[in-house]
Chain A
Amino acid sequence: MTAVLELDGTRPATAVADITGCGVLSAAGPGLAALRGTGWRSPLPRTASDEPDWPPLAVAPVAGFDPAETLGSRGIARLSRSEQLAMAACLAALDATREGPGADRTGIVLGTSMGSARAVLDLLRDTFQQARPYLVNPSGFPSTMMVSAAGRAAIRTGLTGVNATVSGGPVAGLHAVRYAAQALRNGHADRMLAGAVEELSPEAAWAWHHGNALAADTPLAEGCAVFTLDAPGTAAGRRLGRILACETAFTADGPAAVSALLARTVRTALARAGVTAADVTTVVPGARGRRGWAAVEERALRAVFGAGAPPCLEIAGTVGEAHAAGAALQLAAALANPGPDGGLALLTSVGTDGSAGCLVVDLPASPGEVP
């Protein structure tokens, strides 16, 4: 992705997309404003030990989100949590964006892990427990498909452009950004809403609990962040940030190889962005909330930055471990914390399957009122 641009008149850089709006729903509360600074705001994470079906694990649902109020009460009950979050975030991202391309040239791409675990397991439960295995709830069937969150978001927003769903654990948000950037570059769309979504479920929480997979003081969380992405330099008005590079890669050779691969991926991204490690002003690590993987990511960052690592924006305590929404929430946190002079943020992400990815975003000095 090689559009060469003058970056705020200071240094030349390539870019993949401009961020001109966003919709964020996280455990910290709605919008970018809730992600300013670090550390918890109210409400504190709920410990679910006293609720039936949930493990004794700190969990942090999205705060300040009333689905019926945002989406209307009609038909809301049959929507999965993932669908509700995605619809609301896409609406917010569009609302926050100035006029732009028509609905047929505006697309949606959402990252996920496996869609709504709750919807799939509810349907499967019916197949085992109803009088006949096919006596499942028919209106719940579409929600079992990974495609459903993006599909429902399209219906709700009326966007008839490219509509895609991509999967890939914590890296899913970066897959979505890469997909969006390619769609813009290759003329499949003029504007993309790109982001990722994750929902809480007791089954997933038990898996995290049994696997002892969360880092200390990190609640298991859900969330959704969606960004309005335009081809660099094409959109008028406010810009929340400019994505200079987004790279992903894969290795099957275990954690040490993931570290090396992530370091290589970061170097590639910085080179493609036309910047150096010394230009990075903030790192937003993605694996801090996951036991073991934080060290894998840290090794890669040390390999790239040596002793001169820029400060890290720690978000595990703000938005929790939101798995498939992780990278998208990292980007939201970066946009919410540009610093007084702006800067260059690097997001890193690793998945347990051997995926690694990173994103370089240039943050403007004065973002103005953030949504």
Chain B
Amino acid sequence: MSEPAVRRVAVTGLGAVSGFGTGKDALVAGIKAGRSGIGPIEQFDAAGFDHTLAGEVRGFEPAAHLRRPGRWGRSGWFAATAAREAVSDSGLGPGSLAAARTASSFGTTNGESQVLERLAEQVVGQGTDAVSPELAGRTDAGRIAAAVAAELGLTGETMTFGTACAAANYAIGYAFDLVRTGEADYALCGGADAANRATHAGFHRLGALARDVPRPFDKDRDGIVTAEGGVALLLEPLDDALARGARVYAEVLGYGMTCDARHMTNPDAASIAECIRIAQRQAGIKPEEVDYVCAHGTGTRANEAAEVAAVREVFGARVPPISSVKSVLGHTMGAAAGFGALISCVALDEGFLPPNATLREPDPELGPDLDCVPGVAREARVRVAQNHGFAFGGNNAVTLFGKVAA
């Protein structure tokens, strides 16, 4: 088999819908300042829950951003709105994307979970035979990547990944491969999930929800805060981007994936370490070249114990600064790794380390000399950023982004 001819791949557009509102600028400003995007639950009736905070998108008006919002669920709204912003941010006209082979590759944990919630209300309230075929027809998670393609008039490949909380890294990696090998001319990629009752109840029951805010790496961290949002990156060949004078946030250097194949919910440090090594090897990066790790950093004791052990195994004595944007966003599930990718790209472009805003005292059990960037963003030269995403099912995916010399 011949080695595929490959192209370098640039990130030239970014878009986001998050607890900080609609738009990537609001997101980046919020993260850098260490503000919290977390507040009271409004997306479902939180009566009876002990934990009633979430990182929700407030006051989102889909009709202000989308042509046919009635066709899509809330996750699709977020993905399509973020994608539209990424296209606008890239300086490419929407027409040029529609005329080319433009792929749509998005990740999600729960798909159109609010549609499912409404179906469950029908069934519980009126019986199994009350299921609405119109609602049932909108439960397919594949409609998230489809919503992006439809709203932007794209006719290329659509791919929706259901690889839970690592899904956006899978989606970005797949899009990278498509553009790299010429299977696609452009790709919009990222992730989306909507706040919903089932996810909140499930993590609540597992005892995995924080009392107030998530505190990744803190000695008193006690869990996640459920959250929602959508995020999109526009990928195109680096040479094309440079030729048209585009703003290049970063280059996608490569990615890697492993599966623990041990337990559905407990992370596995050895498998994560192997995933990091594979990603670095695919990207042609040595550990000492990595300047920043955008952690999965959920805020649970189990995650950070496994994640830091894996990082130490790979990096040895010199662990790069490591932080989690979940400290301010909460856990946006299928979008989470996409938000990590977005902030990594902006960090490379602008030169800062995103903070662990809620960190009070690093957990001594995670070992000494761990720079978790507490408080607010810190100016720093970042040339290579490593972005983590780990998921239920033992699905691990790590993406690497590099600064492109001006």
Docked pose: A202 CA to B395 CA in angstroms: 30
Q: Does A307 sit within 8 A of B, measured CB to CB?
A: no
* B116 partner residues in chain A, CB cutoff 8 A: 114, 117, 120-121, 124
* B119 partner residues in chain A, CB cutoff 8 A: 121, 203
Pick from A53, A103, A163, A231: contact of B394, CB under 8 Å: A163
B284 CB to closest chain A CB (Å) equals: 13
Docked pose: A188 CA to B399 CA in angstroms: 13
Q: Are A206 and B131 also in contact (CB < 8 A) when A141-B205, A159-B259, A166-B159 are?
A: yes
Q: Are A250 and B146 also in contact (CB < 8 A) when A154-B393, A187-B282 are?
A: yes
Which of A2, A162, A178 has most B Cβ within 10 Å?
A162
* A38 partner residues in chain B, CB cutoff 8 A: none
* B259 partner residues in chain A, CB cutoff 8 A: 107-108, 151, 154, 159-163
Q: Does A191 sit within 8 A of B, measured CB to CB?
A: no
Is there an interface contact between B177 and A136, defined as CB atoms closer than 8 Å? no
Pick from A112, A134, A353: contact of B146, CB under 8 Å: A353
B153 nearest in chain A by CB position: A252
Is there an interface contact between A159 and B123, defined as CB atoms closer than 8 Å? no
* B202 partner residues in chain A, CB cutoff 8 A: 123, 136, 138, 141, 144
Q: Please, what's the 1-or-0 string for B120-133, where 1 marks a CB less than 8 Å from any CB in chain A?
A: 11011000111111
- Within 201-243 of A, Cβ neighbours of B (below 8 Å) are at 202-204, 206-208, 210-211, 213, 231-234
Docked pose: A25 CA to B256 CA in angstroms: 32
Is there an interface contact between A154 and B261, defined as CB atoms closer than 8 Å? yes
* B164 partner residues in chain A, CB cutoff 8 A: 145-147
Pick from B49, B198, B265: contact of A144, CB under 8 Å: B198
Q: Are A158 and B137 also in contact (CB < 8 A) when A112-B162, A355-B146 are?
A: no
B68 nearest in chain A by CB position: A252
Is there an interface contact between A2 and B206, defined as CB atoms closer than 8 Å? no
Which of A171, A204, A234 has most B Cβ within 10 Å?
A204
Q: Are A186 and B177 also in contact (CB < 8 A) when A147-B392, A151-B392 are?
A: yes
Q: Does B251 sit within 8 A of A, measured CB to CB?
A: no
Is there an interface contact between A133 and B49, defined as CB atoms closer than 8 Å? yes
Is there an interface contact between B158 and A234, defined as CB atoms closer than 8 Å? no
Is there an interface contact between B112 and A114, defined as CB atoms closer than 8 Å? yes
Q: Does B324 sit within 8 A of A, measured CB to CB?
A: no
Q: Does A248 sit within 8 A of B, measured CB to CB?
A: yes
B-side interface mostly = mixed
Q: Does B186 sit within 8 A of A, measured CB to CB?
A: no
A174 CB to closest chain B CB (Å) equals: 10
Q: Does A266 sit within 8 A of B, measured CB to CB?
A: no
- Within 140-193 of B, Cβ neighbours of A (below 8 Å) are at 140-146, 149-151, 153-164, 170, 174, 177-178, 180-181, 183
Is there an interface contact between B261 and A159, defined as CB atoms closer than 8 Å? yes
- Within 83-125 of B, Cβ neighbours of A (below 8 Å) are at 104, 108-112, 116-117, 119-121, 123-124
Q: Are A169 and B395 also in contact (CB < 8 A) when A2-B2, A124-B197, A125-B123 are?
A: no
Is there an interface contact between B261 and A261, defined as CB atoms closer than 8 Å? no
Is there an interface contact between A208 and B159, defined as CB atoms closer than 8 Å? no
Is there an interface contact between B4 and A113, defined as CB atoms closer than 8 Å? no
Q: Does B303 sit within 8 A of A, measured CB to CB?
A: no
Is there an interface contact between A113 and B141, defined as CB atoms closer than 8 Å? yes
Pick from B49, B132, B170, B204: contact of A207, CB under 8 Å: B132
Is there an interface contact between B198 and A202, defined as CB atoms closer than 8 Å? no
Q: Does B61 sit within 8 A of A, measured CB to CB?
A: no
* A213 partner residues in chain B, CB cutoff 8 A: 133
Can you list 30 pairs linking A and B with CB atoms under 8 Å apart? Answer: A4-B2, A104-B258, A107-B257, A113-B141, A120-B116, A124-B117, A124-B197, A127-B201, A133-B49, A134-B204, A146-B141, A146-B163, A151-B392, A155-B263, A160-B258, A163-B261, A163-B395, A167-B142, A167-B161, A175-B142, A182-B174, A186-B4, A187-B282, A210-B131, A234-B1, A250-B146, A252-B149, A351-B140, A353-B140, A353-B143
